[in-house]
Structure 1
Amino acid sequence: MIGERTLGQVGKLAGIGLVAAAVFAAVVILAARWFTGLESVSSWMDRYPGEYHLPDFVDDGFPAWARWTHFLNFFFMAMIIQSGLRVRQQQKPPAVWQPKKGGKKISIHLWLHTSLDLLWILNGVVFVVLLFISGHWARIVPTSWEVFPNAASSILQYASMQWPEENGWVNYNSLQQIMYFLVVFVAAPLAIISGLRMSEWWPKNATKLNKIYPAPVARKIHFPTMLFFVLFIIAHVFLVFATGMTKNLNHMFAGTPVDGWGGFFWMLGAVFLTIGVLFATRPLVLAPIASRFGQVSAR
């Protein structure tokens, strides 16, 4: 049994869902190909191929700081999502943590989640600062209103399975640019301010502030934001592999536009390291680390 259903019933529902998804995808592809085949739409897409030229001050490629912060973002996000789900699902924590100077006791999973949040924020601050210092901000911040028709053109190309040409070493297509902008400058701040509101760092006696921004509102923001990150990561990874795996992985992991398998093996190492750490984040491993920053005890 899985919940109130048998394994066979779950399998049937999963099969029906897969068939429905395949039918829906086929309808979308056929409709998009018919639409893009119209002469007026085709000429419009010739005018807006899916991207526009970046300012001249933007250099090609991905510097070392971009590659390292990209990896650390993936690493911390995976651990934050795992620890956040544990906090959301836990009924009785296996251990609790308390600051050395005293204060409220919290579960060891919440301590890990909060600590990872701080490291993720620090990594994000470094990324954003270097992004603007280097001029690479124009890669993910739209600099022309043409971003919108080009993004619409990219959506049509993806939907029709006639995907736009990818050359992330030089430029992202406009849909990618908008999505990266939303992740860095909208979703990440929403995750931070909603997480801060639910944390122990939020001032409890700030009556007016708590009334303006109540905790239930923060909870309604925080979990959907996490789901957005998960869906983005799934789509991002799928497109990285589907639009030229070795080329894309070489860009972000090996720092080279040359085709080869170097970036793939670097990516495998990053994934195995992350999975290993995810499995290692158990109370017996966490307790000695957490005890360096506070007091750990049984519930």
Structure 2
Amino acid sequence: MSKVRADSRAVQLAVLVPAALVALAVLVLAARWLLGVPAVEAFVDRYPGVATAPETTPVGLPAWLGWQHFLNFFFLVLIVRTGWQIRTTRRPAAYWTRDNRRFVRTRGKPTKISLDAWLHLSLDVLWLLNGLVFAVLVFATGHWVRLVPTSWDVFPNAVSVALQYLSLDWPTENGWVHYNALQLLTYFVTVFVAAPLAAVSGFRMSGAWSKRWKRASSAFPMEVARKIHFPVMIYFVLFVVVHVTLVLATGALRNLNHIYAARDDGSWVGFWIFAGSLVVVVAAWVLARPAFLQPVASLTGKVTRR
């Protein structure tokens, strides 16, 4: 069965990849044609891609945002990895059982989950704590206006930016001063819509959701949570791929300095910090195995092999 399934997936990839490339080529050609239409050209001139922002919008990116960016990337990569393992692994290599003697006693049998699920939930908690710190800082420093649309012209400007991206005649970027309208909408959805949906649906699917919450369980069934959680994961994967691609393709050194070094120049400082962060992420990816996780997981429960 596994060989048949693998062959089926290979055939699907062999069909989907060329089809996706052809569809992308068609979209690029269509966008370039549209930008040559006088009415569309006038629309882009009127809405070049930057939404109206308050005069008090902060200029520049603070150092704490660089740390937040790295931690979010670090946690998100490992959360997606462990989430995919939970979804696809039928026979986990190890299990974790909560030690109720170290915590508040609960009714019923001790919670037993796969070690992948334990790591996934542990990373979720750290990601949520990091998100809470981010929310406090972004509102306390006034940087929230760089992430929240404050004018209706963000929508036509976002359409304009999308057309410019698709035509490969990309708009001028100046993320140090402001994000373009499409970035603004995307970051808003990511921070204030996708992240809360991932957290709420994940909590509903976890063992922390009490079976005694019958009304809440009826109002928010497990099936609904699953239908939300997986598409949100796919959204985050696509967001990271597109985000990294555009960062590297629209002035890599300057963008990496904005993100990691809190400076607006073309030096290599941000690149080396980014490279170091990749080493840390790759090392964590390699070490996220039962042999290395067992000593840590044993601090809060019992780890058993299959």
| Alignment of 1:139 onto 2:138 | no
TM-score (norm 1): 0.93
- Residues 213-249 of structure 1 show CA distances to partners (whole Å, capped at 9, x for unaligned) of 1111111111111011001110111111111111111
- Determine the structure 1 residue equivalent to 2:304: 297
Shift of 1:89: 1.9
| Alignment of 1:66 onto 2:65 | yes
2:236 aligned to which of 229, 232, 245? 229
The answer for unaligned runs of 5 or more in structure 2 is 102-109
1:189 aligned partner, one-letter code: P
Q: In 1, Cα distance between the equivalents of 2:28 and 2:234?
A: 26
- Any idea what SS the aligned residue of 1:260 has? coil
- Determine the structure 2 residue equivalent to 1:34: 33
- Determine the structure 2 residue equivalent to 1:4: 4
Mapping 1:261-280, distance limit 5 Å: 261-280=268-287
- Any idea what SS the aligned residue of 2:4 has? coil
- Determine the structure 2 residue equivalent to 1:216: 223
- Residues 184-208 of structure 1 show CA distances to partners (whole Å, capped at 9, x for unaligned) of 0110011011000011110102222
Distance 1:226 1:18, change over 3 A: closer
- Determine the structure 2 residue equivalent to 1:192: 199
Mapping 1:10-159, distance limit 5 Å: 10=10, 17-101=16-100, 103-159=110-166
Distance 1:16 1:194, change over 3 A: closer
Distance 1:86 1:60, change over 3 A: same
- Determine the structure 2 residue equivalent to 1:171: 178
Shift of 1:14: 5.3
Instruction: Report the aligned-residue RMSD.
Output: 2.0
TM-score (norm 2): 0.91
Q: In 1, Cα distance between the equivalents of 2:26 and 2:153?
A: 29
- Determine the structure 2 residue equivalent to 1:284: 291
2:168 aligned to which of 161, 174, 190? 161
* Preserved contact between residue 61 and residue 262 of structure 2 (Cα < 8 Å): yes
Q: In 1, Cα distance between the equivalents of 2:17 and 2:206?
A: 39
Q: In 2, Cα distance between the equivalents of 1:52 and 1:209?
A: 40
Q: In 1, Cα distance between the equivalents of 2:194 and 2:177?
A: 25
Q: In 1, Cα distance between the equivalents of 2:193 and 2:6?
A: 41
Q: State the aligned residue count.
A: 297
Distance 1:205 1:17, change over 3 A: closer
- Determine the structure 2 residue equivalent to 1:255: 262
1:4 aligned partner, one-letter code: V
Shift of 1:19: 4.2
Q: How high is the sequence identity, in percent, across the aligned residues?
A: 48
Distance 1:202 1:16, change over 3 A: closer
Distance 1:15 1:97, change over 3 A: closer
- More deviation in 273-282 or 56-65? 56-65
1:193 aligned partner, one-letter code: V
Distance 1:16 1:209, change over 3 A: closer
Shift of 1:2: 8.5
